[in-house]
Amino acid sequence: MGSDATAGKGGNEPKQTVSMIKISPYMVIPSRVGGFSLFLKQDDKLVLYAEKGELFTDEHKERLSLLGVENLYVRTRDYAQYLAYLQDNLLELLDDETIPVRERARAWNDATVAIARECFDRSLPKPVDARQFKRIRTLIANSLKFLCRDDALRELSRFIKEGDELFRHGISVMVLTITVLATFMKEDTDALVGVGVGTILHDIGKLELPQELFRKRFDNLSRSDKDLVKSHPALGVGLCSALPLPQEALQCMLFHHEREDGLGYPSGCTGEMLPAYVKVVIVCNVYDNLTRKGRDGRTLTPFEALTQIKSMRNAFDKDMLKRLIAVLAKADLT
């Protein structure tokens, strides 16, 4: 993502090679202060456009539009400040209909990846603390209107399939789940936020287990290792026990590997005992795992994944599977 570029202020500063990251000019919000310097490209050189700490104005945005600027750049060392700026202003960005949906999806993905990555950081003393939990909950609450748009999934799909890290899988399952839930519970925002939080964190319990377990096919594991893998939902709930998780989040974390026929884990409960939103998480979790690069290095197409899911006749709620297929088709992703 970063690139080396020559940067200077209008050519008056000494030239230097610095690492830069490309961002969208649509992310310049009037009446906001950026804790980072902005550069634009002129004659294959990057020149300073806005100084760190400078108040963005309508003139800044109009000038960028008149110049036809397609990309701005921030120094790699300032990227954390840029992400904080994105997160602080995300609701306004997502609600701005003058910004193309693709650019809003790009901003949402950058902000969400930064928060989720930190929550799943194994180098920290404890995964997801109270501060991070609050940031996740706020981000999802600010994102619901955008995620419920008919065209959001199509644009977000360009980003959420990247990488095989746990947090990226959590983001993808959350986007799919909220999109499906919006077809029948769009107005229940509190429940949707709870589901969103639980879905992003649904696999966090895997951080407590030896990672080599997840680099092998489940069917090839010993019985004891299978039992360890099956413990990750409960471990995840335990990791988050000090957080004020709503019931919806806890149920999504604990029951995301259950099945309609009672052959899932950890409780083996049947579909009639599971809330509708958990049934959506269950099918979206399997779909994303199948279409994401797996342990064998193979990635199924959406059609192949849905065909495999349909073949598991009694595992999934049929109505929720139909709803997933419908939203994927509407987004031209089947």
Looking up tokens 């306004």 gives: 92
Report yes or no on 81 lying in a domain. no
Rounded (10°) angle between helices 130-147 and 166-181 = 40
Q: Residue 12: which domain range?
A: 1-76
The token pair that represents 295 in the structure block: 């342990």
User: What is the predicted pLDDT for the residue at 3?
Assistant: 46
**What is the DSSP code string of 203-267?**
TGGGGGS-GGGGGS-GGGS-HHHHHHHHTHHHHHHHHTTTS---HHHHHHHHHTT--TTS--SSS
Structure confidence by residue, pLDDT tens digits, 256-294: 999 999 999 999 999 999 999 999 999 999 999 999 876
* Residue 207 · residue 239 · CB < 8 Å: yes
Distance CA 185, CA 188 (A): 6
User: What is the predicted pLDDT for the residue at 293?
Assistant: 72
* Residue 112 · residue 139 · CB < 8 Å: yes
Structure confidence by residue, pLDDT tens digits, 77-131: 999 999 999 999 999 999 999 999 999 999 999 999 999 999 998 877 777 889 9
Do 62 and 26 lie in a common domain?
A: yes
Tell which residue, 270, 278, 296, 300, has the closest CA to residue 287. 300
Report yes or no on 110 lying in a domain. yes
Report yes or no on 302 lying in a domain. yes
Distance CA 189, CA 143 (A): 11
> What is the identity of the amino acid at 177?
T
Distance CA 238, CA 310 (A): 33
Structure confidence by residue, pLDDT tens digits, 183-232: 999 888 999 999 999 999 999 999 999 999 998 888 899 999 999 999 99
Do 141 and 170 lie in a common domain?
A: yes
Residue 10 has pLDDT above 60, yes or no: no
User: What is the predicted pLDDT for the residue at 13?
Assistant: 45
Residue 7 has pLDDT above 80, yes or no: no
CATH of residue 232: 1.10.3210.10
Do 42 and 136 lie in a common domain?
A: no
Do 98 and 60 lie in a common domain?
A: no
Do 43 and 100 lie in a common domain?
A: no
Do 59 and 123 lie in a common domain?
A: no
Cα–Cα distances in angstroms (integers) from residue 132 to residues 68, 82, 213, 244, 322, in the given order:
37, 18, 27, 12, 34
User: What is the predicted pLDDT for the residue at 16?
Assistant: 53
Do 229 and 187 lie in a common domain?
A: yes
User: What is the predicted pLDDT for the residue at 12?
Assistant: 46
User: What is the predicted pLDDT for the residue at 294?
Assistant: 62
Do 64 and 105 lie in a common domain?
A: no
Do 12 and 115 lie in a common domain?
A: no
> If you average pLDDT over every residue of the chain, what do you get?
91
Residue 5 has pLDDT above 60, yes or no: no
Q: Give the β-pairing of 2-8 and 16-23.
A: antiparallel
Report yes or no on 82 lying in a domain. no
Domain final residue pick, 27, 42, 76: 76
**What is the DSSP code string of 113-147?**
HHHHHHHT-TTSSSSS-HHHHHHHHHHHHHHHHHH
User: What is the predicted pLDDT for the residue at 296?
Assistant: 59
User: Based on the structure, what is the number of domains in the chain?
Assistant: 2
Domain final residue pick, 76, 97, 117: 76
Domain final residue pick, 76, 100, 134: 76
User: What is the predicted pLDDT for the residue at 6?
Assistant: 47
Do 57 and 193 lie in a common domain?
A: no
Report yes or no on 27 lying in a domain. yes
Helices and strands: H and E segment counts in the chain: 14, 5
User: What is the predicted pLDDT for the residue at 313?
Assistant: 84
The token pair that represents 80 in the structure block: 């954390």
Report yes or no on 305 lying in a domain. yes
Cα–Cα distances in angstroms (integers) from residue 333 to residues 196, 279, 301, 305, 325, in the given order:
21, 21, 9, 12, 9
Distance CA 165, CA 255 (A): 21
Do 211 and 311 lie in a common domain?
A: yes
Do 165 and 276 lie in a common domain?
A: yes
Report yes or no on 84 lying in a domain. no
* Residue 284 · residue 277 · CB < 8 Å: no
* Residue 22 · residue 73 · CB < 8 Å: yes
The DSSP element (H or E) to which 16 belongs, if any, is strand 16-23
User: What is the predicted pLDDT for the residue at 295?
Assistant: 55
Report yes or no on 35 lying in a domain. yes
The token pair that represents 237 in the structure block: 């709930």
User: What is the predicted pLDDT for the residue at 187?
Assistant: 84
